[in-house]
Structure 1
Amino acid sequence: MDLMATIENAMTSPFIYLAILALAILDAFLPFLPSESVVIAAAVFAVSGIPSLPLIIVFAALGAFVGDHIGFLIGRLLRRRRPGGRLIRAADRIAPHLHRRGGALIIAGRFVPGGRTAIVTASGATGYPLARFAPFAAIAAVTWAGYSGLIGYLGGAAFESNRMLGLAVGLGLALSITALGELVRYVLRRRRAAIAAG
């Protein structure tokens, strides 16, 4: 069996929804897991109708939302068990920003590699109110799932006759947008440092 047939079998299996859900949950505290890549890949194949793009987005968003709350809980537990630990000290440095601009950080952190883990854990560790955290986590989860699903779907639609190329374009586009975001963040951070030094 060739690689493309194996990928197609995995992406068109009804178990793909459970895989998306599980990866999106686990990605909150194991950021090396490829949840976004799997959502994009499944969405490339959704062009043919199987799997369903709306279900991909729903399961990805649900997984991201649940995972964010698990990460939040981990932050709370770490605060209780290791109040002077390195992670807690780092969370304390983030706390003023989180309590001032928490919503924006929670949403933006979802799109920064490793940012989701840092922000949701810091939210729990700093005592950020769960009632404020949950709505922003929901917005971040739905936005991320929709973005990932649509990127994959557009890549699949543009290269319907060659799904592997559609998959490569979808993943490449997601990586390019992430890299561009990181570049903008780096430039803004350097500019702020230059102004502060200046």
Structure 2
Amino acid sequence: MDAVMDLFHSLTEHLDAAVTSPWFYLALFAVAVIDGFFPVVPSESMVITGGVYAASTGEPNAAAVMALAALGAFIGDHVSFYVGRGPGQKMVARMKPGTRKHKAFTWAQALMRERGGLILVVARYVPGGRTAVTMTMGTCGYPRRWFAFFAGIAAISWAVYGVVLGYVGGKAFEESPIKGVAVGLGLALSVTAVVEIVRYLRKRKSAPATDENEAEVGAEPEEKPVTTG
């Protein structure tokens, strides 16, 4: 038991030193940028952790965490967007009209033009979804100006959301920041789970109608009997 407690205290000390260091700001910004086009780094976890320590120890500064996380996310989304506009559009140009891939792209293009902004903002809260959406928007030729506008809304709201979750956990466990981090991450996972459940239910609800439409489109026209006069 003593060994476990010693390990816990050691981890806490290392986490305290890392988060309260001035280098945390640079690391947070870099991770937020990379997560925009390579979604395997824990940007949301770092934002929440920053919020926890801002509430419990006063370091790092909560406003600075929000600003750097939002700026990093905004830049990272644009990297993904321009990857879509470059290699993505070249790949689309090689698609043969009428193939399944070409039809899927045409459908995605129409969807992005109609609801791209809303999809981009919502996708920022879906792990991995943000990269798929931003790259697809670039590939579909979504207007740069409108992409920047909605990417800004998504990045700012996401940064505020992460810091607020962390701040709640930090205030609940001011004397044990690591417990506050656990609470903040738990809240974030709960929100993600709710979003995924809603998406699944909506998709399941719309599936029958989609299947019917596809059946109608793919049905062969009935042959009318040929009559002779």
- Specify the TM-score bucket, using the shorter chain as the normaliser: over 0.9
1:28-53 CA deviation, whole Å, 9 max, x = no partner?
A: 11111100001101111111211000
**Which letter does structure 1 place at the counterpart of 2:13?**
A
Using the alignment, how far apart are the partners of 1:12 and 1:150 within structure 2?
Answer: 18
Question: Is 1:14–2:22 an aligned residue pair?
Answer: yes
Report the equivalent of 2:197: 183
Report the equivalent of 1:109: 123
Which residues in structure 2 correspond to 1:2-151 (within 5 Å)?
2-47=10-55, 48-83=57-92, 84=94, 91-151=105-165
Using the alignment, how far apart are the partners of 1:42 and 1:183 within structure 2?
Answer: 28
SS at match of 2:36: coil
Q: Which runs of 4+ in 1 moved over 2 A?
A: 79-85, 88-93, 194-198
State TM-score, norm by structure 2.
0.81
SS at match of 1:2: helix
Using the alignment, how far apart are the partners of 2:39 and 2:133 within structure 1?
Answer: 12
1:108-156 CA deviation, whole Å, 9 max, x = no partner?
A: 1111111110111011111001011100000000000000011011111
Note closer, same or farther for the CA distance 1:92–1:31 as it changes in structure 2 (3 Å cut). Answer: farther
**Which letter does structure 2 place at the counterpart of 1:14?**
P
Q: Please tell me the root mean square deviation across aligned C-alpha atoms, in Å.
A: 1.6
1:47-71 CA deviation, whole Å, 9 max, x = no partner?
A: 1211000000000000000111111
Question: For this pair of structures, how many residues does the alignment match?
Answer: 196
Using the alignment, how far apart are the partners of 1:49 and 1:182 within structure 2?
Answer: 34
SS at match of 1:55: helix
Note closer, same or farther for the CA distance 1:75–1:197 as it changes in structure 2 (3 Å cut). Answer: closer
Using the alignment, how far apart are the partners of 2:26 and 2:134 within structure 1?
Answer: 23
Identical residues among aligned pairs (%): 44
In terms of Rg, which structure is larger? Answer: 2
Report the equivalent of 2:184: 170
Conservation of the 8 A alpha-carbon contact between 2:28 and 2:68: yes
State TM-score, norm by structure 1.
0.93
**Which letter does structure 1 place at the counterpart of 2:66?**
I
Note closer, same or farther for the CA distance 1:135–1:165 as it changes in structure 2 (3 Å cut). Answer: same
Note closer, same or farther for the CA distance 1:79–1:71 as it changes in structure 2 (3 Å cut). Answer: same
Conservation of the 8 A alpha-carbon contact between 1:91 and 1:125: no
Conservation of the 8 A alpha-carbon contact between 1:106 and 1:120: yes
